[in-house]
Amino acid sequence: MIDHKLDFAREERTGVAEAILGSGKSAEQIASIVETVLSAEARMLITRLDPEKARALGRFGEQVRYDALSGTAEVGVPRIVSSVPAVAVVAAGTSDMSVAQQALRTLAFFGESATLFADIGVAGLWRLTERLEEIRQFPVVIAVAGMEGAIFSVLAGLVRAPVIAVPTSVGYGVSEGGHAALSSALASCAPGVLVVNIDNGFGAAAAALKILNVGRG
């Protein structure tokens, strides 16, 4: 087995535990990392894990829990999830759900529940406005959108909470690859928009966790 240098103290030090990126690693390398984590009786999140590599982890049974939509796997004993959601995850369209689910799974891995508001993009603005009072109850909002990413500015101009914008690679033409949505998020004239990289639901959830941890003292 490879002697992996895993950062088991990261969660205590930073509030967010180490996660590993599944893409770029072989199934054998990932399995070796999982063995190291379980041997240390630790926990870890795997992101961008495709179904083929996930199947290779089947020998670990319920110690590795895979979600195909988000491409994430939880390793180790699951944490009890809070019964009171502290984060609103707003997904503009159904095509953005894989990234939204990555954020939801990351939050749950750390014991935070969240409420999903799905398919409420600004192309039909009434879909957002009719859920607005619910969204305003949350101290942190994660907004997930591709295409032109208009919902980032709209939300930030309507809620008191910080809005963490997650541009997605959903789109075509000039929107292809998520760069239009990323530029829109970065260029927003609505104050209070925080921006993570394209398709980075994990990073958005980590930012939300840090905001919540600071607020709780």
For 21-73, the pLDDT digits (tens) are 999 899 999 998 898 888 888 889 999 999 999 998 888 889 999 999 999 99
**Nearest of 149, 150, 156, 153 to residue 135 by alpha carbon:** 156
Per-residue pLDDT reduced to its tens digit, 143-161 = 999 898 899 999 999 999 9
CA pair distance 53, 106, nearest whole angstrom: 19
Of how many residues is the chain composed? Answer: 217
Query: What pLDDT was estimated at residue 14?
Result: 79
Q: Which of 9-18, 32-41, 191-200 has the lowest mean pLDDT?
A: 9-18
Query: What pLDDT was estimated at residue 51?
Result: 92
H/E segment holding residue 80: none
Residues 177/171, Cβ–Cβ less than 8 Å: yes
pLDDT-based confidence at residue 3 (cuts at 50, 70, 90): low
Buried b (16+ CB within 10 A) or exposed e, 150-162: bbbbbbbeebebb
